[in-house]
């Protein structure tokens, strides 16, 4: 078996705003395995400033991985414990190599175009008019769940946007989620959650920055609005530590991004613990190309979770790879009549 790695820069169709700044490009890496004239493809989706493996020696670690591919998947996953995005890339690549079709990792009714995955529509940060136009667009497109990034513009303006949605659409028409990306301070968080809860929101992601366990636990206990942990899960590798974190904070939900928490294996550990502790969960992509998104979507379908998932990011880039993935009426579908065009040139 031979292994190689390749860097690829994804370009956003329009700059996308988060509380950590404006995104114009997204760097990603691919691991290609070759054996007996077959190829396996996996995407290592790193998010600069957010991924725990955003380290100066990241490329060096990819090189080491390819040079030591003979160790096999299980041993490599152990060796790469602190590089969750590479773990995920390897899981995909090994599954891809074994498959008759390198992009068919989990055959199901989803990949047979018989079932689709319910997803949320994502509203990026920007000025009021820009955010309002996105909201209208998503509703027109048939989304029944909208996730809005908050925390970067004036809070009163954000409340006004939520009010304008609720004035027009009831809770039975549209499910609203918000994602603060840790933008609130612990002192102001509860008061802000009270104001947000007036608009019958489904949940808020990561209201305060991670690693403030006591404050987050208190917030989850007192909140009038269900809290979902996201960034809080990043960098917690050990199963015992995962259990400790969930028991300490006792959140209403957790959100799993396979590229950030150790792929399918790392995500499944969180899911099993969440299920045992009656904590809800859903899966979200982390701005991967269609290669990584395809792997996450196929795996997500096997989990049989009917909540809207965060998998609607495939259309954000000008130079994404053509794939069978399509978003229609708020659902991610796999159109098996469409072909892949995976070209790193």
21 sits in the region (left: phi over 0; alpha: psi -120 to 50; else beta) called: left
Catalytic residue among 26, 147, 192, 257: 257
Cα–Cα distances in angstroms (integers) from residue 127 to residues 132, 139, 152, in the given order: 9, 19, 9
Distance, CA of 225 to CA of 207 (rounded, Å):
11
- Exactly one of 61, 138, 149, 242 is catalytic; which is it? 149
The separation between CA 124 and the C-alpha centre of its own chain, rounded to angstroms, equals 14
**CB half-sphere exposure, 124, CA atoms < 13 A:** 18
Q: Distance between CA 161 and CA 178 in Å, rounded? A: 12
* Known catalytic residue at 211: no
286 backbone dihedrals φ, ψ, rounded to 5°: -130, 55
- 310, 306, 304: which is closest to 178 by C-alpha? 310
d(CA 61, CA 48): 16
> Tokens standing for 165?
């949605």
**Does residue 26 carry a catalytic annotation?**
no
**The token pair that represents 299 in the structure block:** 């795996």
Catalytic positions: 149, 257
């Amino acid at each position: 078996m031979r292994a190689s790695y390749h860097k690829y820069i994804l370009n956003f169709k329009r700059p996308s705003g988060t509380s950590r700044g404006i995104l114009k490009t997204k760097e990603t890496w691919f691991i290609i395995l070759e054996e007996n004239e077959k190829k396996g493809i996996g995407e290592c989706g790193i998010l600069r400033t957010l991924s725990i493996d955003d380290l100066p020696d990241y490329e060096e670690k990819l090189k080491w991985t390819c040079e030591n591919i003979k160790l096999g998947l299980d041993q490599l996953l152990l060796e790469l414990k602190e590089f969750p995005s590479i773990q995920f890339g390897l899981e995909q690549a090994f599954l891809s190599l074994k498959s008759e079709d390198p992009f068919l990792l989990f055959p199901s009714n989803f990949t047979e175009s018989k079932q689709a995955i319910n997803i949320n529509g994502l509203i990026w940060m920007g000025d009021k008019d820009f955010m309002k136009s996105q909201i209208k667009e998503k509703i027109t497109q048939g989304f029944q769940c909208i996730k809005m990034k908050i925390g970067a513009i004036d809070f009163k303006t954000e409340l006004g946007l939520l009010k304008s949605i609720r004035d027009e659409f009831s809770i039975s028409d549209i499910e609203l989620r918000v994602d603060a990306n840790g933008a609130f301070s612990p002192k102001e968080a509860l008061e802000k959650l009270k104001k947000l809860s007036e608009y019958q929101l489904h949940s808020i992601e990561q209201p305060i920055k991670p690693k403030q366990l006591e404050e987050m636990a208190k917030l989850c206990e007192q909140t009038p609005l269900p809290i979902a942990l996201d960034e809080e899960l990043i960098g917690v590798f050990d199963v015992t530590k995962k259990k400790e974190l969930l028991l300490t904070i006792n959140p209403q939900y957790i959100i799993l991004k396979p590229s950030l928490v150790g792929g399918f294996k790392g995500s499944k550990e969180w899911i099993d613990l969440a299920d045992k502790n009656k904590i809800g969960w859903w899966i979200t992509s982390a701005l991967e190309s269609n290669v990584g998104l395809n792997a996450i979507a196929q795996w997500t379908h096997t989990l049989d979770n009917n909540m809207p998932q965060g998998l609607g990011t495939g259309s954000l880039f000008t130079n994404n790879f053509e794939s069978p993935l399509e978003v229609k009426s708020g659902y991610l579908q796999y159109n098996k009549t469409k072909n892949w065009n995976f070209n790193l040139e």
